[in-house]
Structure 1
C-alpha cells in the first residue's frame, strides 16, 4: 500500500504488488468528490503464487514475492536497461497478478491503471476485505 501527498490538496494512493503480496487489502476514500476510486487487491494471491515466489512459514504460504524479489533481474525489477516505461513492460507474472487484482500496481510502470487521486481527507483501509 502506498499513500502520499505533496503540499497540494490532491492525494495520490495505490495498492502495489511490485514488491510482493501477503494479504488482501482495499483503500477507499471517504468523500472527496467525483473520480475518487478505490485501490485494492481483494483476492488471496497466495493460493496461486508460483512455488519459487512463495514465502512459507509453518508449512504454509504466508506471502508471495514479486518476480523482482524472487528472480532479481533487471527485466523483472525495471532496472538497468529496463528502467523506463518504454523498456519495462508487463511480464507473464505481472499480467497474471493484474488479471486477479486490476486495481493494484502489478509492475513498476503500471501508473495509468493503478495510481488513484482524490481530494478526500479520510480513507478507509480494510485488511482482508470481503470479495466483491
Structure 2
C-alpha cells in the first residue's frame, strides 16, 4: 500500500492521511487504498508465464512509486513514477494536510465524477475518451504510469520467467 502520514490515534486506531485502507490496523486485511493513491498493479502468471504490471494514477497520486523486476529475462524493465504530482497539482484536485500542504492529488474522475473524465457513459470507448489536461498533468510527471482509463499503450509492462518484483518508494523529484 502507498499509505502516508500514518499514526495511531488516542483510541488506539491506526489511520493514514493518504491511501488509508479503513481497517483501523496496520494490516489492511485485503482492503484497498482509499483514493487518491498511487497504485502498483500486478497480474502474476503461473510458472513460466508472463507477469503484467503497471503503476496507476487513475485513482490519483499520493507519492512516487516504482517496480523493479529482479531476475526474469532481459525484457524485464523497471517502471518508475518519480515525479511529484503533488507539487504541480491543480487546486481543484488537491487534498491538503493540516498544515495546508498538498498531500495527495485527486484524479479528475474522482474530483468531478463526469463521464468525460471517468471514461464512462457516452465516453466509454478509447476514441470517445482522449486524455484531458488533468490526465496530461499526471502523465507529464510520470510518463510510464497510467494517467486515465485508456492509457494502456505506454503503461503496461511485462516480465517473463518468474521474476520477483521489488516495490520501493521512488525518490521524489522537484
What is the TM-score when the length of structure 1 is the normalising length? Answer: 0.91
Is 1:123 the counterpart of 2:174 in the alignment? no
Q: In the alignment, which residue of structure 2 is the partner of 1:53?
A: 93
More helix by share: 1
Q: How many residues are paired up?
A: 131
Gaps of 5+ in 1: none
- Mapped contact 2:84–2:141 kept (Cα < 8 A): no
Q: In the alignment, which residue of structure 2 is the partner of 1:34?
A: 74
Gaps of 5+ in 2: 1-39
| Residue aligned with 2:105, SS | strand
Q: Could you tell me which of 38, 41, 44 is aligned with 1:5?
A: 44
Structure whose alpha-carbon radius of gyration is higher: 2
Compute the displacement of 1:11 (Å).
0.6
- Mapped contact 1:38–1:103 kept (Cα < 8 A): no
- Mapped contact 2:119–2:129 kept (Cα < 8 A): yes
Distance (Å, rounded) in 2 between the aligned partners of 1:16 and 1:57: 23
Distance (Å, rounded) in 2 between the aligned partners of 1:118 and 1:56: 37
Distance (Å, rounded) in 2 between the aligned partners of 1:34 and 1:127: 23
- TM-aligned CA distance change 1:129 to 1:48, over 3 Å: same
In the TM superposition, 1:70-81 aligns within 5 A as 70-81=111-122
Is 1:105 the counterpart of 2:137 in the alignment? no
Distance (Å, rounded) in 2 between the aligned partners of 1:68 and 1:77: 5
What is the TM-score when the length of structure 2 is the normalising length? Answer: 0.70
- Mapped contact 1:30–1:122 kept (Cα < 8 A): yes
Compute the displacement of 1:6 (Å).
4.5
Tell me the C-alpha RMSD between the 2 structures: 1.5
Q: In the alignment, which residue of structure 2 is the partner of 1:92?
A: 133
Compute the displacement of 1:61 (Å).
1.1
| Residue aligned with 1:52, SS | coil
